[in-house]
Structure 1
Amino acid sequence: MSSPLTAGTPLTVGNGRVKEARKLSRRSVRTERRLFLADGPKAVEGALTVEGCVVEVFATPAALEQHADLLGSTDVTLVDERALASLSDSVSPAGVVAVCRHFDAPLEHVVTASPRLLVICADVRDPGNAGTVIRTADAAGADAVVLAGQSVDAYNPKTVRGTVGSLFHLPFAIAPDPAVAVRAAQARGLRVLAADGAGDVDLFEADLTGPTAWLFGNEAWGLPDDLAALADARVAIPIHGRAESLNLSTAAAVCLYATARAHRATT
């Protein structure tokens, strides 16, 4: 990487390094190389806090000047506007993108850290929803997040951007089988609560004081019965108006903050 003081002429869209980085927009390439793109100053700022995560930072001259506090002590490769835009899937690129190494933790490491508040997402497909749930988990003080089953790639650019940096703030694991994640949490003494609109336990009457793992399902069809049956309880958020239901990210926010409040009341 070039120093921002001696970066020279910005690289163009046809440059080989830019082309190689652009390939990381494809999940297959991200998985093979265990690399991904962090797009925007918040994501890059978060990535820089994770030791060994950042491989290279690309920035336009204008972004380098605008974000001098963030990038001033970091090696930066200058690129022109077109090259930067080719690395970003944002409608209005912020001018800075980092190539980063994958940094997810094994499931067993996440659960053996004795979390008091864990989030398990089962088959959450929408990158924006996944990003918002991770951001909400971070805000509520959760200890870790597990993306399980056929959930969206955590390193999808829209997911990374949707976390607004929170992806880099708390441990997360990727688990192929949601049932394994549920049982692993239970084995470590967490009470697994399935968020289920048809649940028989009212969220605001539930005991949320102990170590808790929330299990959230797919945006469209929720949790499969066999998976929800593994939980210690099925918990419903009461609907007082005429809305049919709450969307996934809103439901997650209500459940996580109710649990965070209960935890803080007992400490």
Structure 2
Amino acid sequence: MNTPLSHANSRVKEARKLSRRSVRTERRLFLADGPKAVEGALTVPDCVVEVFATVTAAEQYADLLDAAPQVWLVEDRAMELLSDSVTPAGVVAVCRFLDVTLDEVLATSPQLVTVCADVRDPGNAGTVIRTSDAAGAGAVVLAGHSVDPYNPKTVRASVGSLFHLPVILADDPAAAVQALQAAGLTVLAADGAGEVDLFDAELAPATAWLFGNEAWGLPDELAALADHRVSIPIHGCAESLNLATAAAICLYASARAHR
């Protein structure tokens, strides 16, 4: 191990710049904050470039850090600059982008896929990735003007799941829907005004769930491309469900049907 680096160290400063999307895109690197994220990153070959850890965290997560290609001890103040968390866990990894295309995923014949169109909130995106992983989905597609999956808040909210399943970026949501259908998946649009009640739906063996923006949902022209629009029944007085909750209900309905 090395002498702890200060917040003024050039290596710390360069890693800190990865909090900006423009720098991440240019360097094709991002930060994974926390032991679960770092553990997940270390399971992906050649993903982790280096790890920064406080002295305390290096002792606490010694077994984890043994698998890292390079570990730098840092002072607590330096970790505060690197971590997006209010209370840093003390370990942050610099990781390479996880490049995967929709065609590559479809070649594996996934039975459950999550598609998010124009989802802007990084916490929601990370939670949907985590939920998709838990439900056994084969991939998550972030389509249109969705949040960067390598946003620190998205990575942290995924709690390591970003490294467990493919997360695909698709510029054109409509093209993504059509590609999924061409591959044999039934695309279901989660829509509060949908004509099919989720609890009455016969869910196909191969399904892609389509979710829209947190505030305005799915555009009509995109929802119209789906095979069916499915609504989640609301029995109380709530106006609607938030994105992450709706995604969890729909994905687990499919997971239950598949099993």
State whether residues 47 and 100 of structure 1, in contact with CA within 8 Å, keep that contact through their aligned partners in structure 2. yes
2:237 is the counterpart of 1:238: no
CA RMSD after TM alignment: 0.8
Q: Which residue of 1 aligns with 2:151?
A: 156
Q: Which residue of 2 aligns with 1:188?
A: 183
State whether residues 110 and 171 of structure 1, in contact with CA within 8 Å, keep that contact through their aligned partners in structure 2. yes
State whether residues 42 and 67 of structure 2, in contact with CA within 8 Å, keep that contact through their aligned partners in structure 1. no
State whether residues 186 and 204 of structure 2, in contact with CA within 8 Å, keep that contact through their aligned partners in structure 1. no
The separation in 2 between residues aligned to 1:203 and 1:192, in whole angstroms, is 14
Q: Which residue of 1 aligns with 2:120?
A: 125
State whether residues 58 and 98 of structure 1, in contact with CA within 8 Å, keep that contact through their aligned partners in structure 2. yes
Residues 78-116 of structure 1 deviation map (CA, whole Å, 9 limit, x = unaligned): 111111111111100110000000013112112222110
The separation in 1 between residues aligned to 2:110 and 2:66, in whole angstroms, is 36
State whether residues 104 and 174 of structure 1, in contact with CA within 8 Å, keep that contact through their aligned partners in structure 2. no
The number of residue pairs the alignment matches comes to 258
2:21 to 24, 27, 51: 27
Q: Which residue of 1 aligns with 2:64?
A: 70
Q: Which residue of 2 aligns with 1:93?
A: 88
The separation in 2 between residues aligned to 1:147 and 1:37, in whole angstroms, is 19
Aligned partner of residue 135 in structure 1, secondary structure: helix
2:37 to 26, 38, 43: 43
Aligned partner of residue 120 in structure 1, secondary structure: strand
Q: Which residue of 1 aligns with 2:208?
A: 213
Aligned partner of residue 222 in structure 2, secondary structure: helix
The separation in 1 between residues aligned to 2:117 and 2:106, in whole angstroms, is 16
The separation in 2 between residues aligned to 1:121 and 1:99, in whole angstroms, is 26
State whether residues 55 and 99 of structure 1, in contact with CA within 8 Å, keep that contact through their aligned partners in structure 2. yes
The separation in 1 between residues aligned to 2:165 and 2:153, in whole angstroms, is 18
After TM superposition, the score normalised by the length of structure 2 is 0.98
Identity of matched residues, %: 75
The separation in 2 between residues aligned to 1:254 and 1:131, in whole angstroms, is 16
Aligned partner of residue 55 in structure 1, secondary structure: strand
Segments of 5+ residues of structure 1 without an aligned counterpart are 1-6
Aligned partner of residue 119 in structure 1, secondary structure: strand
2:166 to 155, 166, 171: 171
Segments of 5+ residues of structure 2 without an aligned counterpart are none
Give the drift of 1:210: 1.9
After TM superposition, the score normalised by the length of structure 1 is 0.95
Residues 107-153 of structure 1 deviation map (CA, whole Å, 9 limit, x = unaligned): 21122221100000000000000011000000001111000000000
The separation in 2 between residues aligned to 1:84 and 1:172, in whole angstroms, is 27
| Structure 1 ranges of 4+ moved more than 4 A | none
